[in-house]
Amino acid sequence: MFSFSALHPDNNWVVDIGWLQSALSTVTQKYHLKDLDEICPDQVTTTEWMAQQLFSDIVSEAKKGSFSFSGSIRVTVKESDVAEASYENSIE
């Protein structure tokens, strides 16, 4: 979830959905159907850690291009029907 206190003044959006779809595809391909113990051998890859890692990856994607966002991003990872974890932080 992306949020901030006002819509972009020129585009009336919080985030460009096209950019977001592309960024999420890039980020999730890194982990999709992969053994997390091989990708991140020095980490205990809990659901909470994964939410924070996805947040970091999304921010890294944003910094690669001309994407401009100042606000908050929350990433939620659903492990099962009864277990999920979120990580939220602000970016400038």
In angstroms, the Cα distances linking 63 to 25, 26, 40, 56, 70 are 16, 14, 22, 11, 12
The CATH number for 2-6+14-91, chosen from 2.30.110.10, 1.20.1090.10, 3.40.50.300, 3.30.479.10, is 3.30.479.10
First-to-last alpha carbon distance for the chain, in angstroms, is 16
Rounded-to-integer distance, Cα 72 and Cα 70, Å: 7
Instruction: Give dist(CA 27, CA 18) in Å, integer.
Output: 14
What is the rounded CA–CA span in Å between residue 28 and residue 79? 15
Looking at residue 29, its pLDDT comes to 95
User: What was the pLDDT predicted at 3?
Assistant: 81
Residue 66 has pLDDT above 70, yes or no: no
Give this prediction's pTM.
Answer: 0.85
Q: Return the percentage of the chain with pLDDT > 70, whole number.
A: 97
